[in-house]
Amino acid sequence: MTFLIKFRRIVPLILLGAALFVTPAHATFPGKNGRIAFLVGPDIYTMNPDGSDVRQLTHMSADRAVNWEFWSPDGKQIVFNEGPAAASGVGEIWLMNADGGNQRLVLVEENFSDDRPSFTPDGNSILFNRCSRLAEECAIYRIGVDGSGLRALTKYELGILDLSASASPDGQSLLFTGVSHDGIIAALYLKGSDGSPLQRLTPVPLSPRQPNWSPDGKTIAFSTHCCNPQNQEIWTVRPDGSELRRLTNNGNDYFAGPHDFHPSWSPQGDAIVFERDAPDFSSSAIVVMRGDGTGLTKAITLPRSRPDVDARRSSVRLRAQGQIRFKQIEEGGALPRWGAAP
């Protein structure tokens, strides 16, 4: 199929780019537990951790959408990704106050899509992934919150996508999802500030997504559909790759168990918020549990968060375009993120 795809000169990573732009990963910084931010449709909302006092922060026009949000360490600001709702548009990086006020553009460049921003622990810089417009390659970049000092942190390499970067709470390590390194579809990687080589955190078959640092920097939560048959679950791992743990256990029948996505530690490190979808994806909920996986409590029920596109038709079309391989990467979601109380 290599020839079938490449001869047609269609860039085979477009779908991956489009799909991953809505797949989150981030760090939670230490603090007192504050509000939880999440997405419904094209907009950002916040709520109390018990689901009360829901407030809408953005009001996107019909042709624009937010697909990513991330709290500042002090809980006073949110950096977010906004862009044209059409997949062909480039991602833009925006900032706003925690109440939705003072929305302002930080970065947009015509020839790149700049996506999935996160704050550094000092709150002065933003990490993000910069992809070529066709997402043939993506690397991790940093920029000051004032838009100055743009700098690459990982290499641009054809076919390699480094995505969803976040800094460890001590600022010494960069965590990201690496796609296509060494023949592996996706794995979590760490890069030290000392220039040491990339370290792969997760075993090859695991298929991890959406990593999130605990506020003490000792644990990373992520979502995976390991292994076969796969049900999406929340797992944790230490930054040295040890102590791989399955926090939610959704059984081995994909169509009988729930599906868990987008874990985010509480700033106090005592809980994890995540999205749990019904077995048939007829509804979604934002759920809170203790850091050890016990004590599940539903905070809020949401309308179905994954648009029920005609997957068959779109898949056929995409495969005909030579993009057979990235359909397994999930799309959509509420992306709950737990912020610190200001």
- Shortest distance (Å) from residue 34 CB to other proteins: 29
Q: Which is nearer to other proteins, 54 or 184 (CB)?
A: 184
Q: Which is nearer to other proteins, 57 or 139 (CB)?
A: 139
- Shortest distance (Å) from residue 302 CB to other proteins: 14
Specify whether the CB–CB gap between 221 and 236 falls below 8 A: yes
Residue 156 binds other proteins, judged by CB under 8 A: no
Letters for 218-257 (x = contact with other proteins by CB under 8 A, - = none) are: -------x-xxxx-x---------------------x---
- Shortest distance (Å) from residue 204 CB to other proteins: 6
Residue 326 has φ and ψ, to the nearest 5°, of -115, 15
Specify whether the CB–CB gap between 164 and 333 falls below 8 A: no
- Shortest distance (Å) from residue 318 CB to other proteins: 9
- Shortest distance (Å) from residue 116 CB to other proteins: 20
Calculate Rg over the CA atoms of the chain. 18
Specify whether the CB–CB gap between 81 and 66 falls below 8 A: yes
Structure tokens at 301: 């029920």
- Total chain residues near other proteins (CB under 8 A): 51
Q: Which is nearer to other proteins, 72 or 250 (CB)?
A: 250
Distance between CA 223 and CA 239 in Å, rounded? 16
Distance between CA 279 and CA 231 in Å, rounded? 9
Instruction: Tell me which of 53, 110, 194, 308 binds other proteins, using CB under 8 A.
Output: 308
Residues 6+ apart with CB under 8 A from 85: 42, 62, 63, 64, 65
Q: Which stretch binds other proteins (CB under 8 A): 10-18, 32-40, 43-51, 64-72?
A: 10-18
Q: Which stretch binds other proteins (CB under 8 A): 60-68, 76-84, 273-281, 289-297?
A: 273-281
Query: What distances in angstroms separate CA 127 from CA 138, 153, 168, 189, 341, one per listed residue?
Result: 13, 9, 12, 15, 22
Q: Which stretch binds other proteins (CB under 8 A): 8-16, 74-82, 91-99, 266-274?
A: 8-16
Structure tokens at 305: 């968060």
- Shortest distance (Å) from residue 36 CB to other proteins: 22
From the CB of residue 231, how many other CB atoms can be counted at a distance below 10 Å?
A: 21
**CA dihedral of residues 241, 243, 247, 251 (deg, nearest 10):** 90
Residue 280 binds other proteins, judged by CB under 8 A: yes
CA nearest neighbour of 267 among 119, 115, 67, 95: 119
Q: Which is nearer to other proteins, 148 or 312 (CB)?
A: 312
Letters for 170-209 (x = contact with other proteins by CB under 8 A, - = none) are: ----------x-xxxxxx----------------xxxx--
Distance between CA 141 and CA 150 in Å, rounded? 7
Q: Which stretch binds other proteins (CB under 8 A): 42-50, 53-61, 116-124, 309-317?
A: 309-317
Specify whether the CB–CB gap between 32 and 339 falls below 8 A: no
Interface residues toward other proteins, by CB under 8 A:
1-4, 6-12, 136, 158-159, 180, 182-187, 204-207, 225, 227-230, 232, 254, 259, 277, 280-281, 306, 308, 311-312, 315-316, 319-320, 324-325, 327-331
